[in-house]
């Protein structure tokens, strides 16, 4: 692995939540390759350590933090520790999330709904608030929240996830207005179907098992139906996400705030 000696984000400190997951790790590696030092936050300690090892290959300073985003006190103390360790926070990729069950709304499990909202909405709010306080003190910063096309077009059988991602789009728009006077930009990304891999396979299988008019009960057919709904007629690759995030964090997007960018192959 080639390590960086300097880069676009040299001297910048990035906080990434859900950092042990597929998207979080991909963005961490990309930002590190551009010179940023990285604070990796996740609840899964073992996977977090593995992620830190991978990101360090780019030559950045990388520190892992075990953090439960649903616990505001934990988020606040972790944020304070990050600032103590790094001195500041320039970027936040507010990415931790949970997809939840797939079922028609009349059958959707209440416990699962509450869990998805706690992680995806309350968790994102806790992190956004804690980091925003630090950025307000610094009078600068850039934030990208992970929304979803499920928060642009309500998907069938995904009441909790859809509601949570609509909330993230709204939270992004409100935070962008609240933080604009402090020279802090807040934007969001909305990926659609991403594959191949466990995320894609799980979504295909769960939609098939939901047994509704929108999708076949055969996973292979569901996959074709999903791809058929995309104008570009393919799913996206995880590697197509980090560049959009780094653009929104960069000075190239210095006059963009409150924006939700689809990464969706033409789905609008």
**Annotated active-site positions, please?**
161
Give the alpha-carbon dihedral of 69, 46, 86, 179, to 10 degrees: -20
For residue 144, list its beta bridge partners.
93, 187
Angle between helices 22-33 and 45-56 (to 10 degrees): 30
For 95, the 3-state DSSP assignment is coil
CA distance 69 to 50: 20
> What does the chain come to in residues?
268
Cβ-contact 169, 152 below 8 angstroms? yes
């Amino acid at each position: 692995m080639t390590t960086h000696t300097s880069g676009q984000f040299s001297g910048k400190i990035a906080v990434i939540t859900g950092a042990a997951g597929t998207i979080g790790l991909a963005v961490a590696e990309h930002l590190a390759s551009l010179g940023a030092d990285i604070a990796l936050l996740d609840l899964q300690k073992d996977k977090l350590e593995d992620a830190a090892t991978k990101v360090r290959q780019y030559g950045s300073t990388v520190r892992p933090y075990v953090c439960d985003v649903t616990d505001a006190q934990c988020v606040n103390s972790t944020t304070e520790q990050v600032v103590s360790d790094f001195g500041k926070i320039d970027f936040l990729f507010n990415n931790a999330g949970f997809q939840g069950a797939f079922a028609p709304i009349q059958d959707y499990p209440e416990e699962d709904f509450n869990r998805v909202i706690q992680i995806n909405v309350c968790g994102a709010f806790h992190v956004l608030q804690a980091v925003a306080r630090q950025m307000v003190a610094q009078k600068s910063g850039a934030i990208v929240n992970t929304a979803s096309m499920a928060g642009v077009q309500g998907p069938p059988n995904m009441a909790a996830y859809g509601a949570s991602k609509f909330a993230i789009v709204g939270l992004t728009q409100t935070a962008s207005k609240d933080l604009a006077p402090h020279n802090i930009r807040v934007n969001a990304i909305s990926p659609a179907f991403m594959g191949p891999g466990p995320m894609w396979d799980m979504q295909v299988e769960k939609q098939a098992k939901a047994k509704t008019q929108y999708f076949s009960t055969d996973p292979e057919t569901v996959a074709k139906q999903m791809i058929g709904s995309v104008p570009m007629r393919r799913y996206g690759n995880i590697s197509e996400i980090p560049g959009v995030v780094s653009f929104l964090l960069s000075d190239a997007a210095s006059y963009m705030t409150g924006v939700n960018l689809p990464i969706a192959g033409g789905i609008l």
